[in-house]
Amino acid sequence: MAIIDPRTGNPLSAQPTPNDDAPAASTTAHVSRDDVIIELDASNIQQVLQASMQVPVLLDCWAPWCQPCKNLMPILEKLALEYAGAFILAKLDIEANPEIGAQLGVRSVPDVKLISQGGLVDSFQGALPEKQIREWLGRYFPAPAEAAPSPEEQAESALQAGDTATARAIYQELMAQYPEHYAYQVAMARVLVAEGRGEDARGVLDNLPPEERDAAPARGVRASIEFAEQALSSEEIAALGERDDSEARYQRALRQVADGDYDAGLEGLLALMKSDRAYNEDAARKTLLQVFDALGADHPLTVAYRRKLFALMY
């Protein structure tokens, strides 16, 4: 079912491809909370459904006793204001309106439904993190041109800038809000590695469910811990100066891998294989394979460098 952009009158595709370049939402529209967020009940549900013929409605079904609902609602309200009228956020308390909840087929909360032209377009259940909600909305609406960075983006930017304290604080809050979203725990382990707290990072990873503990993201962090333990410190790398022997080249590549600069590290290891295959009992090739395992078989760098390794060997 096509969704109509109320600002342009043009249909928005519900089946975008990853390469779609959706136009950014206009930043000239300014809306108030009352313009885009309403409380839904028996007195106005028919009006809201009728309004969905012109403006898509994001229906948030929640309950006062539901903590995940309380975590989700501020995110939806923030996005409704940010999208500036691309959709209306209608909040339905199913405890106060059980008949409406039953009619809508709500079996658990939070339950978020996208309604357009009087019909259900899509839905999701549970308190998804903001990044995933943005991705979900992105299937149907052009992103706001000046969207505020998500908490995940803020944490990653802080980590890249070396501000591990900020990144750690953000992930701690996200972990508290979404305890079963294990990607945040893996990200926290990455922050701890960046702080030189390898054992603490191992403790976080060891507490993951087995399927998450053995998955590629966690393996990658665990490998970073091991590489960091094996690698020379940054000061020791600097002390190598202009040395270009095999040991110096290997240690530089290992430090790059430990720091998460996988592309440079893999390139260095591959170059060492070309120049000195026998170095330290084929250490460059063995380390390449460890990095591949850490990144996962489907990672683009794994695919690219496996191909290069195969070409070099055969």
SS3 per residue for the chain = CCEECCCCCCEECCCCCCCCCCCCECCCCCCCHHHHEEEECCCCHHHHHHHCCCCCEEEEEECCCCHHHHHHHHHHHHHHHHCCCCCEEEEEECCCCHHHHHHCCCCCCCEEEEEECCEEEEEEECCCCHHHHHHHHCCCCCCECCCCCCHHHHHHHHHHCCCHHHHHHHHHHHHHHCCCCCHHHHHHHHHHHHCCCHHHHHHHHHCCCHHHHCCHHHHHHHHHHHHHHHCCCHHHHHHCCCCCCHHHHHHHHHHHHHCCCHHHHHHHHHHHHHHCCCCCCCHHHHHHHHHHHHHCCCCHHHHHHHHHHHHHHC
Domain end among 167, 197, 229: 229
Q: Is residue 239 part of a domain?
A: yes
The CATH number of residue 11's host domain is 3.40.30.10
Percent pLDDT > 70 in the chain is 90
Is the same domain home to 235 and 186? no
Tell me which of 38, 58, 69, 273 is the catalytic residue: 69
Is the same domain home to 8 and 96? yes
The pLDDT-based confidence of 215 (bands split at 50, 70, 90) is: confident
Is the same domain home to 22 and 98? yes
The residues, any chain, with a CB within 8 Å of residue 241's CB and separated by 6 or more, are none
Is the same domain home to 115 and 168? no
Question: Residue 30's pLDDT is what?
Answer: 67
Q: Is residue 292 part of a domain?
A: yes
Q: What is the pLDDT of residues 239-260, one digit of tens each?
A: 999 999 999 999 999 999 988 8
Q: Is residue 55 part of a domain?
A: yes
Is the same domain home to 197 and 300? no
User: Please, how many CA atoms are within 13 Å of residue 74, restricted to the half-sphere of its CB?
Assistant: 6
The residue to which tokens 């440079």 are assigned:
264
Q: What is the pLDDT of residues 79-113, one digit of tens each?
A: 999 898 899 999 999 999 999 999 999 999 999 99
Tell me which of 66, 90, 100, 288 is the catalytic residue: 66
> Domain range spanning residue 12?
3-137
Domain end among 186, 201, 229: 229
**Are residues 6 and 142 in contact, defined by beta-carbon separation less than 8 angstroms?**
no
Is the same domain home to 32 and 80? yes
The pLDDT-based confidence of 170 (bands split at 50, 70, 90) is: very high
Q: Is residue 146 part of a domain?
A: no
The pLDDT-based confidence of 8 (bands split at 50, 70, 90) is: very low
Q: What is the pLDDT of residues 17-56, one digit of tens each?
A: 333 443 334 333 567 888 899 999 999 999 998 999 999 9
The pLDDT-based confidence of 284 (bands split at 50, 70, 90) is: very high
Question: Residue 253's pLDDT is what?
Answer: 96
Is the same domain home to 243 and 194? no
CA distance 191 to 86: 36
Known catalytic residue at 69? yes
Write phi, then psi, for 267 (nearest 5 degrees).
Answer: -65, -40
Is the same domain home to 88 and 201? no
For residue 287, pLDDT over 50 is answered with: yes
Q: Is residue 43 part of a domain?
A: yes
Question: Residue 298's pLDDT is what?
Answer: 84
In one-letter notation, the amino acid at residue 169 is: A
The tally of domains found in the chain comes to 3
Is the same domain home to 209 and 248? no
pTM: 0.65
Q: Is residue 215 part of a domain?
A: yes
For residue 293, pLDDT over 90 is answered with: no
For residue 203, pLDDT over 90 is answered with: yes
Q: Is residue 144 part of a domain?
A: no
Question: Residue 14's pLDDT is what?
Answer: 36
CA distance 84 to 88: 9
285 alpha carbon, distance to own chain's centre: 32
Kindly calculate the radius of gyration of the chain based on its CA atoms and give it in whole angstroms: 25
Known catalytic residue at 61? no
